[in-house]
Chains A and B, each alone.
Chain A
Amino acid sequence: MIEIKEITKKFADKTAIDKLSCTVKNGCIYGLVGANGSGKSTLLRTVCGIYKPESGHVLIDGAPVWENAEAKAKIAFVSDEPYFPSGATLSRMMKLYGSLFPDFDREKFKKLASAFSLDLKKRVSAFSKGMRRQAATALALSRKADYMLFDETFDGLDPIARGYVKNLISEEVMSRGAAAVITSHSLRELEDTCDQLALLHNGGLVLESDIADLKTTKFKVQIAFSGEYDRSLFGGIDVLHYEKHGAVCNMIVQGDRDETEKKLKALQPLLLDVLPLSLEEVFTYEAEALGYAFSTEDKEETK
């Protein structure tokens, strides 16, 4: 289990992570969403012992990770900018990982490289951005790490490769009871993979929940009445978002779906539609409620 307790990380005058706490349990795929500069990469680097927090602790199976070789050995980290020595081929990388990580499985790596159609003899510098990410992912997955941290791993991968990587991560988590933390600025990437999602904003965790809970407790309501009405009509219902156009009103509501539907029907509307929310909509409305404007656009960024 990864336990993050009240960590604060600063770069000069800027606070990148501010008293952040969360827990990642074994057998879980944990998604971290946030805009650029929200602290996702800093958090992952702090979790794997690259950065030392100014305050707070990161515990891996109960042991602090900072300068703890045993704890760090349980972590595989795929950086947003994977490192390959200049002129290195995947063959060379295989040797490098073989000598640096005792749990590195060369045969597994060869299979994964073959599945990604990566040439072991070709220089990594000649690979495309997506191929380099595939190579870095294959190297990380060839270790039997208990905790796998992926920083913007799906960025630059084609849809087929994304699907394959997601499957591989899920397999590792399910078969070995490992845990994975995946960061992305795109909710769509994480929606169908993660068990838990967290929203990072200005170095703090503004939202953290199981995906199943998020989807079942929030829903969209479209309702219309013949006469004039306003938001006060819906007292007793937890309305997260309210928007009225003429007689029709669109609302995002939180709570038990059946109970809410019963209450609304009792108001005798002309029209009543209760629809499920996409994860992105859930996050958008949650973030709005917290005063944070989260973009629903799936931005492709170049770092």
Chain B
Amino acid sequence: MKKIIDKGLYAEGLRQTRTLTVVFTVLLIFALTSSVVSNIKPGMITNIAQNLLYPWFALMVIIAAPVLTFSLFSFLSDRSRSDFYHSLPHKRSTVFFSYLLALITQFAVMLSAAGSFAALFITAAINYFNSSEVLYGSASYVLLLVPCFLAAAMLCCGAALIARSASGTAFNSAVLYAAIMFVPGLFLMIFSSTVRQMLPGAIVGVNTFDTHLNIPVGALTGIFTSSKTPWLSVPSAIYTLSFAVLYIAAAALIFCKKKSETAADPAPSKAIRNVYYVLVFCSVSIFITTYFTKDLTLRSFGRSPSMNFTVYCILYAAALLLFAIYALITTKSWRGLLHALPALGVGIVLNGVLALSLYGGVISELNFTPDPEEVEWVAAVRSEKAYDHSGYGIVTPTDLLLFDGEKYRLTDEAFKEEICRGLSEYMEDYKTGTLNIQGGGYAVNYVIKTKTAKKTRAINLIGIDQAALESALMRSEEFCRDLTTMPEPAGHAAHIYNKNASAELSDASDIFDALREELKTVGAAEFYEWNNRHKSPIEKRDMLCISYKIRHGGTEYNMIICTAEEMLPKTYALAKKKLPEVSADAEEFERRYGEAKSIRLYVDAYDSFASYELTAPGEDADKVYDIIGQLCPGRFKSGSFKYDLWIVIDQNEEWHDISYSFGIEILDGSSLEEKLIQLGFTVIPLSYTE
């Protein structure tokens, strides 16, 4: 008897929800197919897998979760049914978790069925309809579907369970569900974006909230913002699942504490009913208050507001009307509406507190213009977050040091004075509406520490030039020493490349040793400047870059150190020997790569950002060379062309890339892809999004 799950209750839960499960499975499948059909446009490349999931599928899950939950736990809104369930020979927690497991099982079944259908649909669509439409995508993409949407469904179920347990009427439960599930996420999103709009671009480091990892909230906002599934990923699933666990734990607690006698009551007590009134009013009004405060603040800075005062009056009147309707529906009497008025007063006060906090917070940030003597130190800091979304994690030695920039506290008086002057002028211009520069998002920011505060500002925007920073940094012995110490690699492998060729080295220890020794001999200022100027061999001919893995704060990055004859020459010379040479004719090409295990060709078209993998007729080196000849009449002609050809050669398990720029004359108006097909290739479009 001392168990969390009871088989009988679990089976009963499945039985009670099976009809709804079948209905929603059919609706989900319909949503999948209709999304694809509506998004395919002739002549356009369509990622079928992404379109499968957007947006109706997500919306269907958001709707299905409360419907199934409310249906299964409907006994909480009926006295006799509630008594029956509470008289069962089980603990309340057993009833809760047995039914919850039944719900999760139904969602797993529903999503697996829809996911399997989606996988089959993608395969069939690509195989049978691709003659007229350009469809691509992988059925494996939908493997993400089940865990991601299951986590989303669990979160929605958790919120619905809180709403159901906290209220005994379906209407009130639905209102609470919306308030619990979406209002916090949407409010944080709008609040953050409003704060960003209210502050000038130079103010960074103000804590704002990011809700894109919350799958249901992300899906809902995605519908309005037309974003394509940025919320569908493993981190999103983990984040959402964590929230789901919290919500479910809260729901279990409320369920177990709920008194059976309060079934069918809108709220367990008068006090909680008043809390609901406040919650409902604030759920609507806080959005209006946030925008209203933003407009008032911007108006005081000489900027035009987004909406005029009349619109705000209408919006507040609508919020009051919604509140009145809610109170009338839940209490079913005019007297109930009167009793709800004190709660309305509390809601209005909370809105006032929100407006004052928002305004006060913004003014406090704008008024941070310390005098130089108040500043204890300044530090340049590079945000690691700026690298999170690049997918490559490329860093230079300077970047790496500035990740921990607060270590290098700059106390130079002239530099502090320069920063305080710039900051003060910038903020004054902003407040008087005379600031012309807007924008933000600079990678290097400045932490300014006074006795009472520590704030981060994008000083570049204020007009402090790089030379002043460089000069201040170069006066820091610790920074100079760290800059000329090689960041230790995480392993022995390295990738070396120049403008035309590259090589993957499984053991680059000798290059690392040379680099480690040679860096000690380089001047910090000279190396700092080199790092800032040269980050890619595209920028400078005859430069060779070494890329290797490093770890910082649990994250892996690709460290790039570029060498040339004038910078780190010994390392340059050693690495250059390991690069494959670009052959100048067919005979040389065959001599060097004729024994290669495989040769594959890729084409990057810069104008349309498209990539193609080409399967050539035959894999012999001479044939490949002939094909290159067809593609590139000028034979390895150097220069900037519209397309890049990459040849990937597998030579005894060491992968070599050789790249050529080439031009194809397309006179008949056909596309690059059509031209490649005409030349005898099988063309497979590649997606960077998968």
Contact = CB atoms under 8 A, between A and B. Distances in A.
Given A51-B261, A96-B12, A79 B83 contact: yes
Nearest to A48: B87
B1 A73 contact: yes
B261 A72 contact: no
A11 B269 CA distance: 10
Interface stretch (B90-98, B108-116, B432-440): B90-98
Contacts of B86: 49-50
B12 A79 contact: no
Given A11-B261, A52-B259, A73 B89 contact: yes
What size tier do the contact residues of chain A reach?
A: 20 to 34
A73 B1 CA distance: 9
B606 interface: no
Given A52-B259, A99-B8, A99-B9, A81 B89 contact: no
Nearest to A41: B83
A82 B269 CA distance: 26
A13 B660 CA distance: 86
Interface in B60-89: 78-81, 83-84, 86-89
A72 B89 contact: yes
A69 interface: yes
Given A51-B259, A99-B8, A69 B89 contact: yes
B2 interface: yes
B260 interface: yes
B81 A83 contact: yes
Question: What is the interface residue range for chain B against chain A?
Answer: 20 to 34
A94 interface: no
Interface in A19-72: 45, 48-52, 67, 69-70, 72
A178 interface: no
A77 interface: yes
B582 interface: no
B679 interface: no
Main secondary structure of the interface of B (DSSP, over half): helix
Given A70-B1, A81-B79, A81-B80, A100 B88 contact: yes
A55 to B, nearest CB: 15
A75 interface: yes
A234 interface: no
B516 to A, nearest CB: 67
Contacts of A49: 86-87
B37 interface: no
Interface string A262-276: 000000000000000
Contacts of B80: 79, 81-83
B11 interface: yes
A101 interface: yes
A77 B88 CA distance: 9
Nearest to A99: B8
A82 B16 CA distance: 19
A261 B270 CA distance: 61
Nearest to B80: A81
A100 B12 contact: yes
Nearest to A69: B1
Given A67-B92, A69-B89, A99 B11 contact: yes
Q: For B81, B89, B94, which residue has the most chain A Cβ atoms within 10 angstroms? A: B89
Contacts of A12: 269-270
Interface string A78-114: 0101110100000000001011111000000000000
Contact of A75 (B9, B81, B84, B87): B87
Contact of A77 (B1, B87, B94, B260): B87
Contacts of A72: 87-90
B83 A50 contact: yes
A226 B481 CA distance: 131
A169 B521 CA distance: 101
A100 to B, nearest CB: 5
Chain A CB count within 10 A is highest, among B9, B88, B259, B260, for B88
Nearest to B11: A99
Contacts of B78: 83
Interface in A190-215: none
A79 B90 CA distance: 18
A100 B259 contact: no
A67 B11 CA distance: 22
A157 B88 CA distance: 26
Interface string B569-595: 000000000000000000000000000
Contacts of A45: 83, 87, 260
A50 B82 CA distance: 9
Interface of B: 1-2, 7-9, 11-12, 16, 78-81, 83-84, 86-92, 94, 259-261, 269-270
15 contacts: A45-B83, A49-B86, A49-B87, A50-B86, A50-B87, A67-B92, A72-B87, A72-B89, A79-B80, A81-B80, A99-B7, A99-B8, A99-B11, A99-B12, A100-B88
Given A73-B1, A100-B88, 13 more contacts: A45-B87, A45-B260, A50-B83, A50-B86, A50-B87, A50-B260, A69-B89, A70-B89, A73-B89, A79-B83, A81-B80, A83-B81, A83-B84
Q: Which 9 A-B pairs have the closest CB atoms?
A: A73-B89, A99-B8, A83-B84, A69-B1, A81-B80, A72-B89, A50-B86, A83-B80, A50-B260
